[in-house]
Amino acid sequence: MVTGKIVITNERGIHARPSAEVAKEAIKYKSDITVDHDGNKGNAKEVLQLIVLELYKGETVTLTAEGEDEQAAFDAVKALLEKQYDFD
């Protein structure tokens, strides 16, 4: 299992479009990938579960990946949660 804390840095947080990008990437991996925000957990492969977490700029989440490709899954999803999105 790989786990770590991540600070959301995107100006508008992780709203619908970033959530869709995270889920699209996460489904490429066999590992279970979860995002925990204040005790509420969401499957990173499910767009709606990420949206419901209401991840705003400056908030800290715990990302966990567990399975055969856990390190690659963790790294890929971490990069997207920390990314600066340029959506208008």
Judging by DSSP bridges, how do beta strands 32-37 and 2-7 pair with one another?
unpaired
Alpha-carbon span 7 to 25, nearest angstrom: 19
For the beta sheet containing 60-66, the strands, ordered from the edge strand earlier in sequence to the opposite edge, are 2-7, 60-66, 32-37, 40-43
Candidate list 2, 9, 15, 85, residue with the active-site label: 15
Q: Is 37 a catalytic residue?
A: no
The tokens for 51 are: 């949206």
Task: Look at residues 2, 7, 9, 80 and name the one whose alpha carbon lies nearest to residue 37.
Answer: 7
Active site residues: 15
